[in-house]
A and B are shown apart, each in its own frame.
Chain A
């Protein structure tokens, strides 16, 4: 009896918290398919706003995905070897380097963006291309990749595995690809999930770095909130959810399967 009460209490609490998080999202999404939000759902259900958003902002959605996966590629190619180097050869410097690459999380995105503009603003081509946003996203997401890979390294005693492979004659590159990376997969997947999610939703940095021709999904969202009917902006949110949720679920399932092996 007492256990049941406790269980019910816990369930209610969990549901309340979940509702607190989910209800605004549902309201926003439902607004996106309502003919007139101020008259309520009774005004009818429509997909016209969704189509309108798609016509206007399909480009921003595409660019967001391009940037997210490009960011992932860069953080993988740079972050994983960096984590390996820090772990095996870092010594007492590894702490300091780790702190430095973690700084972008603590520094406001606006400040980083400003620094980037001050530094690279003069390179017109670069400044105008989406690669400029990519740079910002890489700086911002890199610590998540490096840290989650390093966390795995410290649990599987990667240094001894590396020495074991070396004793069997493997060159540093073969060791890295054949032994280190396969054993860091859980960390790499966790890091990848973070990087893609953060990049897709990133607003602060991107807001400062974007140009009219390089808008990402969150920028388009802000744009539509500012300049369009509320229904359009809500339809945009709906599209965002439809895009990102299957992606997150797929990556999570992939990560679970890898870990369960």
Chain B
């Protein structure tokens, strides 16, 4: 028996909205398609509706009338979670304190009537896969946070779910452990090939784990795309600022150039614009000698981070501009520098927010 293998289902969420009994609208009607074997990340700040969406797919919440959830084209909307064959990892892990690690992992198999011997061998396989060998007979209360997270994951995939649902599985861990487990989780998800829906508020997690990322804001899907798409081509100011660092510049345009206090910055695209909201990522800006770029400003501050340095430039735009410069440049606060920005590194956003 092998837990690794392609046993994913495709998911379609059709105009699913959610209004709670007290009248709050957690999710505006939304439609999403998730391909077989794909890892989709629902990303957004707290209260954006990402967890509600996940719980609707899981079968823990019913969508408002008119909403539908389909697995492999089959309508599952009114099927309770226990009959959906989904694996779920909860933020608090929801491990059973009355059972050992092995009993937790084997619980779903026991429910399915899998015999004792096969159950033991599958549990052993998962224990090895998730690196928790030796902990089988421990109680849940004797485990560290990282170990609990692994047990929760092993338990969820033990039943060979068609869809794996993860609700902020790394949020309860400290930063160093979170980074390590993120890499481990990524390898495991790729190896399992299960359709995965992953909820997080951490954009680094979303970037690393997602085949596609759904950015959500106030119950509405703001943008769906690959990590590269949402990073380089955000379709709104919200997405631009939520994913990574972004300089947002609002300025008048003349002959395809932004008119800024520190000079003129050429932009690509529509030449007939008169004003623009432009986004420029800090790492796309080059620091050069003043005068050798059309745009220049004064360094307000430099913070050396190690692999790079973050410079804050004043005077170039109406607002300060953040630049991620290579760690080899020696420039001090107060110096006047040129800012070299390629026209296609300037992304025009729709006006408003």
Contacts and interface: CB of A to CB of B under 8 A. Distances in A.
B111 interface: yes
Contacts of A183: 96-98
Interface in A163-206: 163-171, 174, 178-179, 182-183, 185
A163 B111 contact: no
A3 interface: no
B74 interface: no
A224 B241 CA distance: 83
Contacts of B95: 164
Contact of B81 (A156, A166, A174, A182): A166
Given A168-B159, A169-B108, A174-B111, A156 B97 contact: yes
B82 A166 contact: yes
B252 to A, nearest CB: 54
**Which of A91, A163, A183: most chain B CB closer than 10 A?**
A163
B325 interface: no
A163 B81 contact: yes
Interface residues of A, number: 20
Nearest to A159: B94
Contacts, number: 63
A241 B156 CA distance: 53
Interface in A131-173: 156-157, 160-161, 163-171
Nearest to B55: A163
B92 interface: yes
B302 to A, nearest CB: 47
Given A91-B21, A174-B111, A167 B96 contact: no
B112 interface: yes
A254 B54 CA distance: 42
Contacts of A164: 88, 90, 93-96
B87 interface: yes
Contact of A163 (B90, B97, B112, B159): B90
Interface string B70-94: 0000000000111101111010111
Nearest to A172: B82
A167 B98 contact: no
Interface on chain A toward B: helix, strand, loop, or mixed SS? helix
B155 interface: yes
Contacts of A170: 82, 107, 111
Contacts of B93: 164
B88 A167 contact: yes
A179 B98 contact: yes
Contacts of B108: 168-169
A224 to B, nearest CB: 47
B103 to A, nearest CB: 10
Given A169-B111, A183-B96, A183-B98, A160 B155 contact: no
A185 B96 CA distance: 13
A178 B110 CA distance: 11
**Which of B83, B96, B155: most chain A CB closer than 10 A?**
B96
Given A166-B81, A169-B108, A169-B111, A160 B90 contact: yes
A157 B92 contact: yes
B82 A171 contact: yes
A81 B85 CA distance: 26
7 contacts: A163-B81, A163-B90, A163-B94, A166-B60, A169-B85, A170-B107, A179-B98
Interface of B: 21, 58, 60, 80-83, 85-88, 90, 92-98, 107-108, 111-112, 155-156, 159, 165
Interface of A: 91, 156-157, 160-161, 163-171, 174, 178-179, 182-183, 185
Given A164-B90, A165-B96, A168-B155, 12 more contacts: A156-B97, A160-B90, A163-B88, A164-B96, A166-B82, A167-B87, A168-B82, A168-B107, A168-B159, A169-B111, A170-B82, A183-B98
